[in-house]
Amino acid sequence: MAGSAARLTLTVRDPALAGALADWRAWLADERRASPHTIEAYETDLAGFLGFLAEHLGGDPSLPDLAGLKAADFRAWLAKRARDGLAKSSTARAMSTVRGFFRRLEKRDLLSNPAVRAVRTPKLPQSAPKPLSEQGAREVMANVGAMAKEPWIAKRDAAVLLLLYGCGLRIGEALGLSRARVADMAKGSMTVRGKGSKDRMVPVLPVVAEAARDYLAACPYAGGDNDPLFLGARGKALDPAIVQKEMRSLRRALNLPETATPHALRHSFATHLLGGGGDLRTIQELLGHASLSTTQRYTAVDSAKLLDVYRAAHPRAR
């Protein structure tokens, strides 16, 4: 079985299953608004699963076959993927696709199979965030907006990225700010609404406040205090994709790694603060993390620098 829609449909002989697959594709495209690339990836995952079942069951699977699958059948598929040397991340996505398909079947009252929910997804190693180096962060801030078509857009992009790196905001938090927050920034702090609708107080560096003020003064669109601060070229609320596109352009121009994303600036904020002697609990509050362990994953301080701090500060190291 191949990943394309045509091959997947043609190899399914059970009309009921073929109809369920068509309904699932239409749901992904029309209701979930999944991109063609995403749909193709999901289809590839599901085609691989159905292809395994054809061998495992000794014939092309049908809806009743799917309804009768046991947890051991799903584990056998996972085991085969492991024997084939497929990455755990790929298998985790494939298992998520299969679960999603079975949820759709259950929602449409076509079948119900609790076994698929009983199978654990392969545990993935927790990848540590990759912050920019201090030099890399400085280069980003020095060059942001250099390729913008309009001066006010250059000022906008600079203000957004400075909020991510200078205040540790999430991209959604920065783009969710209202115009009224600019006056607060000038006073040295502002309230930010984060995940779970939790508010936190965030200190604002003068350079960040100045960038926001310069952008607002240059923005050609009027608005009230409660209107979005950051706007797109047509005057609508700025889309996160535009910020991500700016970072991609900066990556290419500055020869930065693929991990240099808008969110990496938030990682960099935390890591550079800790590297400069900041307290982990304080950084937790600034980031708006409920758990200290989450903050620890965000902060990746160079081990050599930590050793230098240790040797300089610990009484027995002198």
The residues carrying an active-site annotation are 170, 195, 263, 266, 289, 298
Let me know: does 24 contact 107? Beta carbons within 8 Å: no
- For residues 42 and 48, give the distance between their C-alpha atoms in angstroms, rounded to a whole number: 10
**CA atoms of 191 and 199, how far apart (whole Å):** 6
| Best CA proximity match to 211, nearest among 145, 288, 261 | 145
- Rounded Cα distance, 129 and 121, in Å: 22
Residues 6+ apart with CB under 8 A from 216: 179, 182, 229
Q: Are 70 and 56 in contact (CB under 8 A)?
A: no
| DSSP 8-state symbol, 316 | G
Other residues' Cβ atoms within 10 Å of the Cβ of residue 292: 11
Could you tell me which residues come within 8 angstroms of residue 65 by beta carbon, excluding any fewer than 6 positions away? 53, 57
Residue pair 227/203 in contact by the 8 Å Cβ criterion: no
Between CA 254 and CA 165 the distance in angstroms is 17
Q: How far apart are CA 3 and CA 48, in angstroms?
A: 8
d(CA 40, CA 119): 24
